[in-house]
Amino acid sequence: MKRWVSCRLSMLAIAAVMLLGGLQPVQADTDTCLMCHDSAVSSHEFMDSAHGQSGIGCVDCHALDDVDAHMATEEMPAAVDCSSCHTDVADQHGESVHAQMGLDCVACHYSIHTTKGGDPDKQGVVDACSTCHDTEAYNNSVHGQAVASGNLDSASCADCHGVHDVMSLSSADTKTARVFATKACIECHDNAEMMERNDIRSDIVYTYLGSYHGKRYKLGDPEVTATCSDCHGSHGVFAEENPVSSIHDDNRAQTCGQCHEGSSYLFGQFYSHGNYHDFDRYPVMVITFWAMTTLLVSTFAVFWLHSILWMIRGIKENKEKKEALAKGEAHIHIPDGHKVYKRFERRHIFMHLMVSVSFLLLSITGLPIKFSGQPWAQVMIDLLGGTANAAFLHRVGAVITFGYFGMALALSFHFLFIRKDIPGMWLQRLFGPDSLMPNFRDIRDVTGMVRWFLGKGPKPVFERWTYWEKFDFIAVFWGMFAIGGSGLMLWFPEFFGMFLPGWVLNVATIVHSDEALLATGFIFSVHFFNTHLRPEKFPMDFVVFNGEMEKEEFVEERGDQWRRYEEQGITEQFLKPKTSSSLYNIVFKTYGFFAVAIGVTLFVLIVISVLGGSH
């Protein structure tokens, strides 16, 4: 009552002075308001605040139409509407979980009359959040401890959750919540300068996004892969050497076991952020990477040079043939040249079909993962229905691959030990003319081809198998050891983690990825050229689909095999009628062109991605 009387007398005195001076009454200013409301804030503190410094007075927020009526408690100020000035902030808050819960601005900005503005007070943010939220785990974490010590680089609540546009992670859909759980970490840890000045690894984001977990995250499937918080926690993030840390040596098996059921202590030795460019930390990964890179570069260098020289010489030879025909001369005269002879059995055609289908399936589902940063990779994954579908189809392709490899082993055993139409013991058969095992003749054939490339000699004639066909066959065995073996380890990591240290899976990842790149690049460039795209065969050789070849081609390309069959008197055993089924030809020719088109397209995408430096 005494305060009301005092304020009322003060207002009357002010009004009297203004009237005696011939002045009209004005709206109450801040000093006038604080004569009564000094318990809320002092005049000095308010004028030193962000609002006071901006020239904002009490009635700018607490609007009054009639001061006298207010003094008589007949009028109260309208509810404060911060949005009249803070429009953008109010819009953000209006969509937040806080607004949905009915919390207004002052729920967090309870020191609104004295707030200074300017640089954020990170500890103040934490203190404000702690009035409603339990922040004990955060306060004890590496982030909380750093903020408490005054490190403005460390993350406070607002750095991860935002200030005004705070979303509800408990009610958000799984994908949104898990994107948040990774994106919030990436925003800071991708700042190399900030990480370096805080003595934190600056390659954390790079290595995560380059891992299988990170690639699936980039391709839009965070709900089926590990995000940052799955391994490190969200609020209770601790240094690796801290015994309570989720990534401490003693706790990794349990942490990994959240997704990888049955993970062991050895499994936990997987390098989650392994970097094959960091020899000091990961020497085995660096050595593996450079060994595979050397294999890639040397293989492509040799065979691409081989293909280029062949293309140049083949074009020249085709031109010579056309000129000879124009003069009425045959390049080579072969009686009954259009008779058809069998080259492959049905089982061989079926096996090649299995090879091509599985290889295309593995390439289509695997390459988008390897080059996950490329726009085309996202398109392909979307067409496949997500990375989970891609993984399933990739494993279907792997099963088919193991199937035809088993058939190849069975046929090899049958060839060496059971067949009656091949003379000699198994060792003679192994290195004989019908075998796909390389022998000394191949050295002579390679030399002859190089001489032909350079115009120093005639084009060699071959036996049943050429040296490049033998290379393709042997590559299947090497590929099954490298790609198949590493693929099984990545397919069943928990099993192999029972008796192998987890870092072996890092090695398997590099081998699987680079060997697959070697295989796809080789098949879609070198193999396609040798088989279909070289000048002598362009646009396609269908022998692998119908198993037959004309006598002219037989004699010209595999003359030594033809002569051997003639000497043995078995030539006519391979004579056959030409495949007459129109449907058969249409189906397989369509498939053949389709497969080559896909392969060439993928090869172009590989080249673009490699040249673009895609992870």
CA dihedral 320, 322, 323, 326 (to 10 degrees): 160
Instruction: Return the minimum-mean-pLDDT range out of 158-167, 250-259, 261-270, 282-291.
Output: 158-167
Residue whose pair of structure tokens reads 């080259």 in the numeric block: 343
Which residues are paired to 342 by β-bridges? 548
What average pLDDT is seen over the chain? 90
C-alpha–C-alpha distance, residues 34 and 114, integer Å? 14
| Residue 523: DSSP 8-state | I
pLDDT for residue 601 is more than 70: yes
The mean pLDDT value for 348-377 works out to 97
Does residue 108 sit in helix, strand or coil? coil
Task: Give the confidence band of 22 by pLDDT, cuts at 50, 70, 90.
Answer: very low
Half-sphere exposure of 70 (CA within 13 A, CB side): 18
User: Pairing state of beta strands 548-550 and 340-342?
Assistant: antiparallel
Instruction: Return the minimum-mean-pLDDT range out of 12-16, 348-352, 536-540, 571-575.
Output: 12-16
C-alpha–C-alpha distance, residues 207 and 201, integer Å? 10
pLDDT for residue 20 is more than 50: no
pLDDT for residue 580 is more than 60: yes
Task: Give the confidence band of 584 by pLDDT, cuts at 50, 70, 90.
Answer: confident
| Residue 223: DSSP 8-state | G
pLDDT single digits (tens) 190-239: 999 999 999 999 999 999 999 999 999 999 999 999 999 999 999 999 99
The string of DSSP codes covering 64-99 is -S-HHHHHTTS--PPPP-GGGT-HHHHHHHHTSHHH
In the numeric block, which tokens belong to residue 72? Answer: 């008589």
pLDDT of residue 77: 81
C-alpha–C-alpha distance, residues 587 and 43, integer Å? 90
Angle between helices 440-453 and 283-326 (to 10 degrees): 60
| Residue 267: DSSP 8-state | G
Write phi, then psi, for 606 (nearest 5 degrees): -60, -50
pLDDT for residue 2 is more than 70: no
How far, in Å, are 25, 47, 320 from residue 524 at the CA level? 90, 74, 29
C-alpha–C-alpha distance, residues 120 and 403, integer Å? 63
C-alpha–C-alpha distance, residues 45 and 34, integer Å? 11
CA angle 570, 576, 580 (to 5 degrees): 170
pLDDT of residue 240: 94
The string of DSSP codes covering 545-613 is HH-EEEHHHHHHHSHHHHHHHHHHT-GGGGB-PPP--HHHHHHHHHHHHHHHHHHHHHHHHHHHHHHTT
C-alpha–C-alpha distance, residues 357 and 479, integer Å? 16
pLDDT of residue 17: 43
pLDDT of residue 530: 96
Amino acid at 209: L
pLDDT single digits (tens) 475-526: 989 889 999 999 999 999 999 999 999 999 999 999 999 999 999 999 999 9
Counting residues of the chain whose pLDDT is more than 70, the rounded percentage is 93
- Least Cα distance to 160 among 150, 141, 566 occurs for 141
Residue whose pair of structure tokens reads 């410094």 in the numeric block: 53
Name which residue leads in pLDDT, 12 or 588.
588
- Least Cα distance to 464 among 336, 335, 557 occurs for 557
Task: Give the confidence band of 118 by pLDDT, cuts at 50, 70, 90.
Answer: low
Helices (H), 203-282: 204-210, 212-218, 228-232, 252-256
Task: Give the confidence band of 108 by pLDDT, cuts at 50, 70, 90.
Answer: confident
The mean pLDDT value for 355-366 works out to 97
pLDDT of residue 18: 43
CA angle 501, 284, 514 (to 5 degrees): 100
pLDDT single digits (tens) 248-273: 999 999 999 999 999 999 999 999 99
How far is CA 457 from its chain centroid? 49
C-alpha–C-alpha distance, residues 613 and 609, integer Å? 6
Burial annotation 200-222 (CB, 10 A radius, 16+ → b, else e) = ebebbbbbbbbbbbbbbbbbebb
Domains of the chain (ranges, CATH numbers):
2-80 (no CATH), 283-317+339-611 (1.20.950.20)
C-alpha–C-alpha distance, residues 102 and 460, integer Å? 86
- Least Cα distance to 459 among 450, 471, 470 occurs for 450
| Positive/negative CA dihedral, 584, 587, 590, 596 | negative
Extended strands (E) in 176-321: none
C-alpha–C-alpha distance, residues 286 and 281, integer Å? 9
C-alpha–C-alpha distance, residues 480 and 551, integer Å? 35
In the numeric block, which tokens belong to residue 371? Answer: 């080059």
Write phi, then psi, for 550 (nearest 5 degrees): -75, 155
C-alpha–C-alpha distance, residues 183 and 474, integer Å? 46
Helix (H) or strand (E) holding 342: strand 340-342
Residue whose pair of structure tokens reads 């099984």 in the numeric block: 488
C-alpha–C-alpha distance, residues 140 and 93, integer Å? 29
